[in-house]
A = this chain, B = another copy of it.
């Protein structure tokens, strides 16, 4: 048993709860769910996810109690203006005291659903210090402060659950930590941001320009008024850092991760990619290459016959590959109920008395820093789209620069002038395997030749 020196009610609750099946071996250890002591939770934040949690707790109360072995009770909700009580949490106490959940001895689990990295960090720290289990959907906080919060949770033998923080309702984190634990994973990649995928899907299906697709996403509620985190790949980067920690047991610091967004993707590039048998997706990818980890977030060309290329709209998908084969998990990466479902999965694990398995490795308070192979040193095929004047010698000049960088060309598409491009013509090249470093150097050199009429677009090919 966990030896505890604290006599607080919350730790006694946990000690008792960690044996919901307590019984002699010979008797039949049936649990009377409705008579079992409820697990008491408190929630900070009542936005989209918080409202979803309250709703699922109410609508699915019976089945959650059956899965959990006891009822789950929402005691407290922290919101800014507690007078405006909202949503389904009708029996909860509302307060604007941020630390109330952390300081209440009756509370077993604190749900941090306020987002951001200031108040959220303060609340989680205090809750863990007081021996409370914590569940959060806050990828930004964990990607930035995980090195501080996970060891604290471990020192208190507390759950710090974050299933909801990556790919919402998709059961990806527990799968990596537990169901696929006998694999050595060497590749993790995914469509980790539904907003960006929705925008790219619109651009791809209707030839819509980026700005119009973004406006549509905002109109439909998929994108925030300030969409930067989603469209510039930052949200996906937060999630990728967490996936790398769980899959590889390595910390890839956020500030070392290479991140590109989709705001410069054009319908023209999507059309060319399609013609070559690819779709364009904003991917987060990480793989092990000779013991090093290479990772990044970027719009990539994905072969059209890959299942990943067929993930459309606001859906997410994560593909894992290990020495026991590939798997792909698909579903809603955001939204009230999918995310709430993941939050409550972590709550149910606490209710069931599971030992914390926050990062999926037994002897690791926090993963050591990864030995990093910068994404620009990693090798892949590339897609380059130049916009050039319609005159002789241009292809020769560009091909010459690429050859000087030892980049060999697999395919060239040069189109006639069109209404879209005016007097300029797009010139598209697909390369064989080359490090992106050489591609970037070649692009800079081509620019100096003063033969391109617009910024050159570069995409990695999966």
Contact = CB atoms under 8 A, between A and B. Distances in A.
Nearest to A311: B307
Given A25-B156, A169-B324, 17 more contacts: A1-B1, A2-B23, A2-B25, A21-B157, A25-B155, A30-B365, A64-B182, A66-B362, A163-B179, A169-B325, A173-B179, A178-B349, A182-B340, A307-B311, A325-B338, A328-B331, A352-B357
A12 interface: no
Interface in A1-47: 1-6, 11, 19-33
Contacts of A3: 22-25
15 contacts: A1-B19, A2-B23, A5-B25, A21-B355, A21-B356, A68-B362, A70-B362, A174-B179, A178-B349, A307-B310, A324-B337, A325-B337, A325-B338, A326-B332, A328-B331
A363 B69 contact: yes
Interface of A: 1-6, 11, 19-33, 52, 56, 59-60, 63-64, 66-70, 131, 154-157, 163, 169-171, 173-175, 177-184, 249, 307, 310-311, 322-332, 335, 337-338, 340-345, 347-349, 352-357, 360-365
B345 A178 contact: yes
Given A163-B179, A327-B171, A157 B362 contact: no
Contacts of A156: 25
Contacts of A11: 25
Nearest to A72: B182
A106 B63 CA distance: 38
Nearest to A343: B182
A282 B138 CA distance: 40
Given A330-B330, A362-B68, A182 B25 contact: no
Per assembly, the copies of the chain total 2
Nearest to A185: B63
A281 to B, nearest CB: 15
B362 A31 contact: yes
Nearest to A154: B29
A191 B377 CA distance: 40
A432 to B, nearest CB: 27
A330 B332 contact: no
A182 B345 contact: yes
